[in-house]
Each structure stands twice: as structure tokens, then as C-alpha cells.
């Protein structure tokens, strides 16, 4: 019995990822793969900042793949592998295939698997029930092979791969004198085993004779037909039954739906698919791949059994900070060091949250607890994350454990923590070629309190000149960012690592008022100067939340 391949689990940090978010995802995926190799894959929910790029380059690690939405997609549901059929097959054969496969829709494809149309049971019923004139068989360009198959007959003369393209269908039950009056060139004649009528039809240049009733056709008739390029088919059905069935030999391409087909692609999101399906009367819908090739069929019923994307979240547990579509994903674990946020899960999950300066410190502990060796590369990533999140141990969020772990990891990675941290921060504060938008979103998070949504970004640098340049770029952009993110206030912490001081800029009707309520400061030019404040998580956000709660 074949073993079902396990679904990939993505390990991902928050939007606008920082170094901790990326390095924690890579390190934790590596740890999980020690016991379930290959199933876990690190991902990122946004673009890398320059500091993180420097870290990955330093330790020779490829950037995780980008994901922007983890909602269920068409590729996450069970797609029925109904094979495509040729538009040449008969209505009768299509009906038989539908019964065999227990489906009501067949996709019609060409030799390169491009979707040409759809044939449904309603189309076949219509072809049977509607009254057509007696030239419908030729207008449909019916292949003689289809007629042979439909009548379960035998081809005695002619090319089965040729097509009936001219003339009408006639039942030759009259005497020869009468038949001559209504037979025209290229007609298809259905008749019994009457020699004189057969000769009459051939002399009238019929293109095909269907001789019913299990006849023994004289050799002279077959010879005469061959000389006149006339197809001769025999069938055990009687004349009435043959005449009734012959229309079922028409190719489905004549009746199939080919215009304004409703199709879905593998990458489309289920929420969009469900909305479109609700407006359509069709039962089945074709699925195409990224190259436009036919893949299979889905119906509304398939949406009930979709397999959600499976995620492990690191360095966040706030819904506003999570990748889009998180509500449609299956969260398996959360590893974080922030306050407990607004994220809800459908079922119990493994949740590890510790009051440490960095998620990487928690993951280091998990490596040790599981007796998994930390190699040089993973050590370098985890150490870099700790140095980044603790601002080289200057942040009040930094604990003695964070520092001890970082120094141990530095020894494994073969780096000097002070030199490496300065190089990281220097790379991260290279803002000259960046747009205001790129700078703003490199470390930005949104929060909500008492129905008020606000956002806080943080930019760290080694010198005040660098921060002043960033201020000049960002100030004109803040109102645009507020509108874009649909928030009421926006703040940016311009943190001087050496001075351990944050120069706060803000925008919004009550932004200045909130800062001055949370901190004993007044605005100095463009800034609120917050001395000793370097941590968004431990120093700024709690004060803001408390001030907003008192309103």
C-alpha cells in the first residue's frame, strides 16, 4: 500500500520580518526536521531588511521563500482527476463515460491538454430531445467510426476515419422509384436488406449506406459502393432503432460549451472560488495549472474537504502581525517571547512563550532539551538574532540568559559578538538607497487597544546623523502610511543604540497627546525624546496600552 506523502509545514515569522523572525524560523525548521526530515520549511512573510540580509550572507544561508497569504487555495483541496476527452467522441460514448465515472461533466481537451470546452449531461439530453432537421449529422461533421461504434456495427466498405460532411439522413423504406425522388447526392441512407433499394441509393450517389437487420450484403453491392466511394455499414439493429440511435454518433464538440467557461487556477484562493461558485449554476468546474493546462475538476462539495496549510508561528502571536489568510490556516505551534496577543486557533496547539529578549533564545533551549547538536551555521543565526533583538544586550528585554546563550553561540559560530553586532547594525542602517516605504516597513507592527488601531515601527542606528537622515525621509510618508494601513495613529522609534535613546516621530490626531500621556516628555522639534527607551515590546507598547486604557 502506498504511503501518503506528508503535507509540508511552514515555519514563519511576522510580517515585515526582523532578524529574529527569520533566523528563528530557519533554526526551528531545522530542529523539527531532525525527527521528521524534510517536512518543515522556513518561510518569510515579507521582504528582508538589510541587517538580516547581511546575517544570511555572512553564514551562507539562502533566504526563506516568500509567502504573502496562507489561505486555502485550489491546490489544497481534492481535485477530481476526470480525464479530458477528445471533442471527436460521440454523444453516446460521452454518456457511457459519465456513467462509468459517476460524473455529470466531461472536460474536452486537445492533444496538448488545453481545455477546449465542457459537455454535461444536460447538453446530451438536449441533443436527444430537441427536434433537428435531417442534415444535423453532416453539419456536426460526424466521423464514420462514431457511427459504427454507436450502432455497434461493422464497416464493410470505405474509410472509417472519414467524415460525413454533406447531405441529409434518409430512411430508405420506399420503393426505388419513390426513393429516386427524394435522394440527393451525398445523402446517408438507412435501409433494410433490399437489393434493389441499395442499388438505387448507390446510383443516386449516396455517401453512406447503413444496412440494418443483420444482413448479408451481396459482394456486388460492396463492389459498386467501393467504385463510388460510398461507405457501407451494417448493424444488427433494425431500421427504426438504427434511425433513432444514429444522432447519438455526433461528436460532442458540436454540442459542447466553449464560451465563457468558468475555470479556476491552482493558485486561486478558496474564498474567491467560493464566491464565484455561489453565483454559478454549474455543478463542476475545471481547474487549470499556471500554464493554462487542464488539471481536473472541482465542485462545491470539494470545498468541504480542503486541507488547510499547516503553520508554525515564531516571534509573534498577534493576528495583525501574522501573514494574510492566517484565519484559513491550521496553526500547529507558536514559539514567541512577546505578550499574549489576539490570535485564536481552531484547536489546542503547542504554545511556548517565555519572557526572554529573543525567540532565538527559546529555540536554543529546545535544541538543548532535545539533545540536538547546534552546528556552526545555526549558532551564527541564533546568536545574530539575540544580538539584534537585544540591541547588543542594551535592551531592557535582555536577560542574563539571553547574554549567556549569545556568548555560547558566538563561540560555536566562531564570531566576536561586539564586532559582529556592529557590522550587523551598520548594514541595517544603510538607508541611502532606500525609499521611505522600504525604510518604514522594515520593522513595523500594528496593535489595537480599546478599538483604536495604531502602528509602531522601529529603526536602529549607531549614530544620530543616520537617524536624522531617516527622519527627513519618513516624516512626509507617515500620513500616507496611516491611510494605507487604515490605522488612526502611527509612530516610528528612531533608536540610537549607543546613546540608548529613542527619538520618536508620529502622525495622527491624538498621537502627540498619547506620547505625552504615556511618558513625561514634551516634543522637541520633530521628536519626542525618550531617554533610556530602546525596546518597543517592553518599554513603549506597555506604556501606550496603559495610557489608552485610562482614557
- Report the CATH number at residue 236: 3.40.1390.20
Here the contacts of 355-358 (C-beta below 8 Å, separation 24 or greater) are 355/399, 356/397, 356/399, 356/401, 356/402, 357/386, 357/389, 357/390, 357/395, 357/397, 357/398, 357/399, 357/402, 358/20, 358/385, 358/386, 358/388, 358/389, 358/390, 358/397, 358/402
Q: Which of 428, 458, 476 is the last residue of a domain?
A: 428
| 246 and 393 share one domain | no
pLDDT, position 360: 97
Are 213 and 344 within one domain? no
Cell triple for 377 = 551555521
Q: Is residue 76 part of a domain?
A: no
The CATH number given to whatever domain includes residue 382 is 3.90.1640.10
Q: How many domains does the chain have?
A: 3
pLDDT the model gives residue 405: 97
Domain boundary among 208, 223, 254: 254
Q: Comparing C-alpha atoms, which of 525, 489, 492, 494 is closest to residue 507?
A: 489
Contact between 332 and 352 (Cβ < 8 Å): no
Domain end (from 396, 428, 460): 428
Query: Is 387 in the same domain as 417?
Result: yes
- Residue 281 resides in a domain: no
Are 214 and 117 within one domain? yes
The reply to whether 46 and 101 lie within a common domain is: no
* Same domain assignment for residues 243 and 203: yes
Domain that holds residue 331: 9-71+309-428
Residue 80 in domain:
no
Residue 261 lies in a domain: no
Rounded to whole angstroms, the Cα distance separating 80 from 6 reads 20
- Residue 78 resides in a domain: no
pLDDT of residue 2: 40
Q: What is the CATH number of the domain that holds 489?
A: 3.10.310.20
Whether residue 456 sits in one domain with residue 407? no
Residue 235: what pLDDT? Answer: 95
Based on the fold, state whether residues 228 and 366 are members of the same structural domain.
no
Q: Quick one: pLDDT at residue 6?
A: 72
User: Is residue 348 included in any domain, yes or no?
Assistant: yes
* Cα–Cα distance, 183 to 162 (Å, whole number): 21
| Residue whose C-alpha is closest to residue 443's, from 315, 334, 546 | 315
Query: Could you tell me the pTM of the whole model?
Result: 0.68
pLDDT given for residue 1 in this prediction: 35
The mean pLDDT values, 10 residues at a time, for the chain of 551 residues are 66 94 97 88 94 96 94 89 94 94 93 94 80 84 95 94 94 87 93 92 94 88 95 94 92 91 92 88 90 93 83 93 89 92 84 96 97 97 96 92 97 96 87 85 89 92 87 93 94 92 94 94 91 92 90 60
- In a shared domain, residues 208 and 233: yes
Amino acid at each position: 500500500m502506498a504511503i501518503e506523502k506528508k503535507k509540508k509545514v511552514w515555519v514563519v515569522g511576522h510580517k515585515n520580518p526582523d532578524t529574529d523572525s527569520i533566523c528563528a524560523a530557519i533554526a526551528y525548521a531545522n530542529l523539527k526536521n531532525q525527527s521528521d526530515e524534510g517536512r518543515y520549511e522556513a518561510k518569510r512573510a515579507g521582504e528582508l531588511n538589510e541587517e538580516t540580509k547581511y546575517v544570511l550572507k555572512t553564514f551562507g544561508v539562502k533566504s526563506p521563500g516568500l509567502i504573502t497569504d496562507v489561505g486555502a487555495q485550489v491546490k489544497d483541496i481534492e481535485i477530481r482527476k476526470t480525464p479530458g476527452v477528445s471533442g471527436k467522441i460521440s454523444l453516446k460514448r460521452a454518456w457511457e463515460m459519465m456513467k462509468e465515472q459517476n460524473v455529470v461533466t466531461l472536460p474536452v481537451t486537445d492533444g496538448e491538454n488545453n481545455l477546449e470546452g465542457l459537455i454535461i449531461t444536460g447538453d446530451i439530453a438536449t441533443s436527444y430531445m430537441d427536434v433537428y432537421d435531417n442534415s444535423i449529422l453532416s453539419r456536426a461533421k460526424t466521423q464514420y467510426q462514431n457511427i459504427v461504434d454507436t450502432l455497434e456495427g461493422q464497416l464493410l466498405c470505405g474509410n472509417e476515419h472519414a467524415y460525413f460532411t454533406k447531405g441529409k439522413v434518409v430512411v430508405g423504406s420506399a420503393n426505388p422509384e419513390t426513393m429516386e425522388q427524394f435522394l440527393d447526392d451525398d445523402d446517408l441512407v438507412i435501409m433494410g436488406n433490399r437489393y434493389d433499394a441499395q442499388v438505387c441509393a448507390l446510383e443516386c450517389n449516396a455517401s453512406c449506406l447503413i444496412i440494418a437487420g443483420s444482413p448479408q450484403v451481396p459482394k456486388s453491392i460492396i463492389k459498386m459502393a467501393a467504385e463510388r466511394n460510398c461507405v457501407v455499414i451494417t448493424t444488427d439493429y433494425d431500421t427504426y432503432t438504427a434511425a433513432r440511435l444514429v444522432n447519438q454518433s455526433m461528436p460532442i464538440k458540436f454540442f459542447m460549451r466553449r464560451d465563457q467557461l468558468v475555470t479556476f487556477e491552482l493558485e486561486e484562493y478558496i474564498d474567491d472560488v467560493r464566491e464565484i461558485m455561489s453565483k454559478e449554476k454549474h455543478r463542476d468546474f475545471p481547474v487549470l495549472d499556471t500554464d493554462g493546462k487542464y488539471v481536473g475538476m472541482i465542485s462545491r462539495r470539494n470545498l468541504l474537504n480542503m486541507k488547510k496549510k499547516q503553520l508554525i508561528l515564531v516571534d509573534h502571536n498577534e493576528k495583525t502581525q501574522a501573514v494574510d489568510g492566517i484565519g484559513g490556516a491550521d496553526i500547529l505551534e507558536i514559539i514567541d517571547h512577546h505578550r499574549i496577543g489576539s490570535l485564536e486557533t481552531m484547536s489546542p496547539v503547542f504554545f511556548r512563550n517565555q519572557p526572554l529578549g529573543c525567540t532565538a533564545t527559546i529555540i536554543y533551549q529546545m535544541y538543548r532539551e532535545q539533545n540536538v547538536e547546534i552546528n556552526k551555521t545555526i549558532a551564527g543565526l541564533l546568536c545574530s538574532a539575540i544580538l539584534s533583538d537585544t540591541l547588543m544586550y542594551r535592551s531592557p528585554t535582555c536577560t542574563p540568559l539571553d547574554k549567556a546563550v549569545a556568548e555560547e553561540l558566538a563561540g560555536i559560530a566562531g564570531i566576536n559578538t561586539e564586532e559582529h553586532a556592529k557590522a550587523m547594525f551598520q548594514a541595517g542602517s544603510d538607508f541611502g538607497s532606500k525609499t521611505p516605504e522600504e525604510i518604514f516597513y522594515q520593522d513595523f507592527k500594528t496593535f489595537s487597544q480599546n478599538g483604536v488601531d495604531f502602528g509602531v515601527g522601529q529603526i536602529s542606528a549607531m549614530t544620530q546623523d543616520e537617524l536624522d537622515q531617516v527622519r527627513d525621509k519618513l516624516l512626509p510618508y507617515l500620513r500616507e502610511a496611516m491611510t494605507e494601513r487604515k490605522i488612526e495613529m502611527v509612530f516610528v522609534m528612531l533608536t540610537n543604540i549607543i546613546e540608548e535613546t529613542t527619538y520618536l516621530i508620529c502622525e495622527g490626531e491624538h498621537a502627540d497627546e498619547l506620547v505625552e500621556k504615556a511618558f513625561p516628555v514634551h516634543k522637541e522639534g520633530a521628536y519626542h525624546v525618550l531617554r533610556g527607551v530602546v525596546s518597543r515590546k517592553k518599554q513603549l507598547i506597555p506604556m501606550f496600552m496603559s495610557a489608552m486604557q485610562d482614557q
